[in-house]
Chain A
C-alpha cells in the first residue's frame, strides 16, 4: 500500500509549524523526529508510562496515542516551553530542588501533567496528586520527591506555575 501523507499546519509552543507527515504518524513521531522537540520521551509508545505527555490546549495528553493529523488547530505545548527564556518555571525549579528527577526520563511527562494539575487544583493534597499522576510511571524516585516537588508549588507553599 502506498503511504498517505499530508502537510500539517500545527501550532507548537506558540509557533506555527508546518510538516509533511504520514496520516498514521503520531504527534510524538512528529514532535521528536520532525520538529526536533526531543524533550517528550518515548518510554513505551503504548500509553502505559506517560513519558510522552504533552499539553493540547492546556490539557495533558499522551502524544504517543494521538495522531498528529488529529491535532488540527489546537495548541500543542511541550516541556521545552515550560521555561521562559532564561527563566525556569517555578515548577521546574521546585523539581530540581526537591530531587524529583533522578534519571530524568520520566520528568518531562510528569511536568506536563503536573503543570496542568496545579493550574486546575492549586490546593491539591498528596492523595489528589497521586490520583492525578496515575498515568505517569517513574522507576527511580518512588514518587516521594515528585510529590514533594508538586507540594512546593501548591498555593499554600509557593508560586503556582500559572502565576509564573
Chain B
C-alpha cells in the first residue's frame, strides 16, 4: 500500500498569492516598454451614424502627438468576433458607429496626457441615422439595420425555436400552471482592473500583444485576421489579470487598434481604459425579457416548460448566439422536464454590446423558472424543497434535448442547505417582514463543442523536468484570478506525486504554451485539469521506468509514496526518491517532457442547435437566503446565505469556497442593486462605480459556502466546475425569500427598493379593493 498523501481537498493558497500581497504582481497597467506610446480612443458622440470624416488637424497641434488611426485605414475594416458565425466587429467603424461611446478613431502620443488632450480635439463628422434602442423596435423592418447580416431587414440577430415532447398536452392536463413575465436589466462584470493592452512591434517583424484577456487563443486568431499576418508571426501574452468574469473573453477593437497603431508607428502602444470606457466596452449580461409557463400535476410533478426570451444584444454579436440558446437549453436541469418549448430572439440595438458574463445565459432564465417553481409549491401547498427534490434529474440519464447527465449531487445540495439554514423552523414561520427562500441551479462544466470546428484538443498541457528537479508547466489556460495556475500545478504535482512548490506554471504566452481555448464556459478545471493530470501521469510513467531500471522491478508496480518517493506496490521498503528517479531518467536522455490533452467526448443529438448546452458534466446548486424587508421603503437586507454547490470534487477547498462566495456576491449585486441604465438614445447613463452599484463590504452578508462532492467519473480527480453555476441561484433565492417575508413576487431584476416598494403598493391596493368589495 502506498503511503502517499494527496493534496486533494486541502485548503491551498493560490501559487501566486505572495506576488499579489506584495504588490509585485504585474498587471497590464504596470507594464511598459522602451519608447512606448500611449493611445487614447476617440469615441462616438452618436448612437447610430456613418462616420464620414475624421480630422486629426487640431489634435496634431498638441505637443507629443504622434499618429492617428481613422476608419478606412488598412485593417480597420476587417471583421472579427469571438464566434465565427457572428464576426461582426471591426477595429474601427466600417463605416458605421453603432453606439454612443463606441470607438471611432484613436490617437497615439508620447504621453498619456498628450494622447488625452489630442483625442479631445479630433473632429469627427457623422451622418446620423435613427438609433434602435428598444428590443421590440429592433424586431421591425428597417432601412438601416445595424449589420448587413441581420434577419429579413430587421435587427434580429438570432432566432432559436426548440420543442421537445407534447407541450400543449402537458399544459392541458396540468393541475396547476405558474407563469410570469420577467424583466432583467443589463449587468456589467465590474472587475476591478480596467481593460488594457500593449502592442509591441518586434524588430523581427512580429507583433506581440500583451493584454488583460481571458481568451489568448481567440485574440490570437482575431489579430491574425485583422493584421493579415499568419498566426506564427503574432504572440499574445497575458499578464496577471484583475478579474474577468466573461468581460475579457472576446477579442476587442481596442486590441486591434493598439496593434494597428503599433504597426503604423513602429513603436509599442499602450491603451488603458478609464472606468467609464470599461462600461462602454461592456459585453456583459444581456438585458432580457423573459416569458415563462410551468405546468405541474397535482402531486407537484413537472409536466412541461414553455418559455420565450427576448435578449438585447446591443451593437455586436459577441457570444450572443450561444446566449440565445443557453437562455432556454440550460433550463433542462436540474429537473426532469418531460415537455419543453423555447423560443429565443436576440436583437441588435444601438447600445454597448452584451456578451458573456459569469453564469452565461443561465442566470435570467433560472430566475424565471425558480420563481415559478416557488409559486407551484405554494399553489400545491408543498414545501419548495420537496417539490424540487421530487423532480430532480437522476444520475446517468439524458434530458429531452440530449444533455448527458452523469454525476449529480443535487439532492445532497438540497439536504445540506435545508438543514443548515434551519428551514424547517423558518419557512412560512418568520415574523412578517422576514423571510427565507430557496433557489437552485444547474450549469455546464465546459462547453463540449469548441467554437471552431477542429479536431485539435480543447486543452493541451506540457510538462518538462530537468536537472534542477523543478516542474515546468506550459498551458494557455488563462488565470484571471480564479486560480487556474494553482489548479494546473496541483494536478501535475498530484499526478507526479511531488510537492506543489516544485511546480512553476507558464500560462501566459502563446509562443511557448500549447493550445488551450481559455477561460470561459467554466471549462478550465475540467478540461485543462484533465490535460494537466495526463501530462503529469505521462511524465511519472517515465520516472517509474527509471525506478524499474534502478531496482530491477517492474515499472508498473511503482506507486506514488510519501515525501516525494515512488514506492513498490507490494513492498514499501522498496522506495525510490523522486530525485534519484529523475537523475536516472535524465541519464543519456536529457530533460523529460510530456504532454496531456483533453477533448470532450462526442455528445448530443442531431437536431438544429443540438450542440448548445452540451457539456461533459454539469454542476448543481441549492441556495437559501434569509432576508429582511423594510415595508415602508422596499429596502431588502440579506442577512445570511447558505450556498451548497456540487463541484464534483473540491481539489482545493479554499478555491472552491472562494468561487462560491464570489459568485454569490456578484449575484446579490444583480439581485438588489446593479443595473445598467440607458437614455432614450441608447447612451449609457451610469458608467461609473458610483452609479453602477456593486455591493461593498457592509452590503454583503455572511455567506456559508457548502461544498458537495459527487465525484464526477470524467472530471479531473472527480472535479467539475464551480466558478459560474454558483451565481444564478442566489437571485431567485432572494426573490423567494422576499415573497416569504412580505408576500410579493418580484418580476423585475434588480429588485431595487423602489421596485419592491412598488410591488408592495400594488399588493396593498389590491387588498384594499378586495376588502372594499367584500
Contact = CB atoms under 8 A, between A and B. Distances in A.
A155 B700 CA distance: 24
A20 B379 CA distance: 72
A104 B480 contact: no
Interface in A12-47: 32, 37-46
Contacts of B16: 104
B662 A41 contact: no
Interface in A103-157: 103-108, 111, 126, 129-131, 133-147
A162 interface: no
B658 A140 contact: yes
Contacts of A103: 191-193, 240-244, 480-481
Contacts of A55: none
Contact of A145 (B240, B661, B689): B661
Contacts of A140: 192, 243, 481, 658, 662
A105 B27 contact: yes
Nearest to A78: B23
The secondary-structure label for the interface of chain A is: loop
A83 B22 contact: yes
Contact of A96 (B14, B657, B702): B14
Contact of B18 (A96, A129, A142): A96
Contacts of B665: 139, 141-143
A99 interface: yes
B243 A105 contact: yes
A42 B59 CA distance: 27
A44 to B, nearest CB: 5
Question: How many of chain A's residues touch chain B, expressed as a range?
Answer: 35 or more
B29 A141 contact: no
A147 B665 CA distance: 14
Contacts of A78: 23
Contact of A102 (B14, B24, B688, B698): B14
Contacts of B13: 96-97, 99
Nearest to B654: A99
A152 B690 CA distance: 31
B22 A92 contact: yes
B482 interface: yes
A27 to B, nearest CB: 15
Given A44-B688, A103-B242, A104-B240, A79 B22 contact: yes
A140 B192 CA distance: 9
A66 B697 CA distance: 23
B275 A43 contact: yes
Interface string B179-195: 00000000001111110
B664 interface: yes
A49 interface: yes
Contacts of B655: 99
B274 interface: yes
Contact of B658 (A43, A96, A139, A141): A141
A111 B20 CA distance: 11
B703 A42 contact: no
Interface in B655-688: 655, 657-658, 661-666, 688
Contacts of A83: 22
A41 B657 contact: no
A41 B193 contact: yes
A40 B657 CA distance: 27
Which of B17, B275, B700, B702 has the most CB atoms of chain A within a 10 A radius of its CB?
A: B17
Given A42-B194, A142-B700, A144-B703, A79 B661 contact: no
Contact of A49 (B192, B274, B666, B700): B192
Interface string B223-253: 0000000000000000011111100000000
A34 to B, nearest CB: 12
Contacts of B18: 88, 92, 96
Contacts of B420: none
B21 A102 contact: no
Contacts of B191: 103, 105, 139
Contacts of B663: 142
6 contacts: A49-B192, A102-B14, A102-B662, A111-B21, A129-B697, A133-B696
Interface of B: 11, 13-14, 16-27, 29-30, 189-194, 240-245, 274-275, 480-483, 654-655, 657-658, 661-666, 688-690, 694, 696-698, 700, 702-703, 705
Given A102-B483, A105-B27, A137-B192, 5 more contacts: A38-B26, A83-B22, A104-B16, A139-B243, A140-B662
- Name the 5 nearest CB pairs between A and B, nearest first: A39-B23, A103-B481, A104-B20, A105-B242, A142-B665
